[in-house]
Amino acid sequence: MQRFLFIVLITFLFSCTQEVDTESPIGVVKLSGLFVEDFQNHLPASRVIEMSEWIHIYPEEVDLVLTHTGTNESFTISYDPNNFGQGYQFSLPVGDYTYISEVEGEMTSPYLPYSASGNLAVTDQGAELILEATTDYGLLTLNSQEFEQAEVNAGSGYEYFFSLPERNVHYIYIRNGREGTVRATQGEESIEAEFAVGRYQHFHFVPRYDYGNLNVIGLELGEFSLEEHGIPVGGEQLRFIKDNDGNLYKVVRIGDQYWMAENLRSTTFCNGDELTYEPAGDGWAYDEGGFSWVYNTNPIYTYMLNDSSLVKSFGLYYSSIVPMDERNICPCGWKVPSRSDFERLVEYIGGELEASRALRQRGTEYWPYPNDESTDIYGFNAIPAGVVITGSFESMVRGFYFYRLFEASLFWTTTETWSDPGFTPSDPEFTKYDIYSFLISDQTALFNPTGFAVEDLDSFSGINIRCIKE
């Protein structure tokens, strides 16, 4: 199962090699998180790549050094990469910066060594920084409930694994390209296995039994699961996933589901094919006479109010062709959820009313006042981006296509309603998909606060997407 990295703190230590010039324009920078590419759960017999659920271990304090490219002034920020819940904020003089943050390691390490570097433009409107890091290390683990201790020999003699009693695991990070032997001990018995680890690989060793008498006769590779290692849902670090355009999204776990905590902004399918931008209007649906509507059967998208500057906050609005396309608009390994996926979400939370409260973003930046019942307890962060409606008499007459802005959140599903089964955009008889969308309203809603909406028979909608892990 794929897992992803996100970490944050509300306060932090800020030290500078130079004092901030208070006479220069100042911008507030938000350090939002750390992203490391997925580790693969190495299973030689598996035909598909499984992503590890392991939550990485970091030092409690790491430095981020930012250097102003114009003045060459350097500023050093100390942060804890294990805890990133609300985000760090600090002030810097406006300008262009380079930055670097590194954790160094030896051949083996109790922490994940990583390096993150890049460029950052700070304006008087501020800036957001997500550290995209790389590592040259892999990971070896064993269950400490099955083995009292574990050792590794990667060419310079045996050394002990590190132990995390709260996770029931022995672990060690090891540099890419190392080969050697793992030795595990239980009582007076020791068993060994060979390994050759690469970067971003997770080797989780489990007992191999003689099934005739249930004796442990060796070690073999198995899947690492959070649940088997006593890590509570509420105690997990938030994670990130990257889409096919390189956009990063926060990820949250709700029950046994992993959801994007932001609206999708991707314009590229998993296979690399691109969608077409089409401003909301006649390019989505037009009247060929007598209110006989012709719908655009290409996968298209638009922005809120057709304004690309709003994409970060509200995501993209996709036609119903997009979620049904087999090329998959979500990141590879993720999908557009079905109706049953949303039903499981609502059931886990405790019903429609509780789901509305638990999934809505808190505050009144987007939701109407007072919004005092929303908790956003899981970090799902639903915002009321509304819906694009074309192919209707009202939208044609008004020349306005955006409805329920700041009133409701809607997300496409892949579950069809009354459309003819089996028709696709390549069929001559095809007009459009009629599929359910999941609706979240606020506490002032006249109808159910969450539920499933369907298009009018003659309209053609653009709706947000929230991807779910497959």
Alpha carbon distance 450, 184 (integer Å): 51
Residue 214 CA, distance from chain mean position: 41
- Confirm if 179 and 172 have CB atoms less than 8 A apart: no
Q: CA geometry: angle at 248 spanning 242 and 254, to 5°? A: 85
* Structure-token match 């350090």, residue found: 31
CATH number, domain 137-229, options 2.60.40, 1.10.287, 3.30.2310, 1.20.120:
2.60.40
β-bridge mates for residue 97, sequence order: 68, 120
pTM tops 0.95, yes or no: no
Tally Cβ neighbours within 10 Å of residue 290.
6
Alpha carbon distance 149, 186 (integer Å): 7
Q: Which pLDDT value is given to residue 422?
A: 63
Q: Which CATH class is domain 13-134?
A: mainly beta
Q: Which pLDDT value is given to residue 225?
A: 78
> Phi and psi for 165 in degrees, rounded to 5?
-55, -35
- Helix extents (H) in 401-459: none
Q: Which pLDDT value is given to residue 227?
A: 60
Given a cut of 50, the residues of the chain with pLDDT beneath it are 1-20, 230-237
Burial class from Cβ neighbours inside 10 Å (0-12, 13-18, 19+) for residue 62 reads buried
User: Which residues, 6+ apart, have CB-to-CB distance to 266 below 8 Å?
Assistant: 243, 244, 245, 247, 316, 329, 330, 331
Sign of CA dihedral 159, 163, 169, 173: negative
Q: Which pLDDT value is given to residue 432?
A: 86
Alpha carbon distance 54, 41 (integer Å): 9
- At 344 the three-state DSSP class reads helix
Same CATH fold assignment for domains 13-134 and 137-229: yes
The CA-atom distances, in angstroms, between 349 and each of 86, 179, 239 are 23, 46, 20
Tokens of 170: 């022995």
pLDDT per residue as tens digits for the range 247-297: 999 888 899 899 999 999 999 999 999 999 999 999 999 988 877 889 999
Tokens of 456: 């009018």
Query: Could you state, in order of their start, the residue ranges of all structural domains in the chain?
Result: 13-134, 137-229, 260-469
- Confirm if 423 and 433 have CB atoms less than 8 A apart: no
Q: Which pLDDT value is given to residue 391?
A: 87
Q: Which pLDDT value is given to residue 444?
A: 64
Helix 352-359 vs helix 339-349: crossing angle, to nearest 10 = 90
Say what percent of the chain tops pLDDT 70: 87
Alpha carbon distance 385, 403 (integer Å): 9
The CA-atom distances, in angstroms, between 92 and each of 32, 88, 117, 389 are 16, 13, 18, 43
Tokens of 393: 């008499």
Exposure string of 34-44, with b = 16+ CB inside 10 Å and e = fewer, is: bbbbbbbbbbe
The length of the chain is: 470
Inter-residue long-range contacts of 40-43, CB under 8 Å, 24+ positions, other chains counted: 40/200, 40/201, 40/202, 41/202, 41/204, 41/223, 41/224, 42/201, 42/202, 42/203, 42/221, 43/221, 43/222, 43/223
User: Which residues, 6+ apart, have CB-to-CB distance to 459 below 8 Å?
Assistant: 285, 389, 390, 391, 392, 395
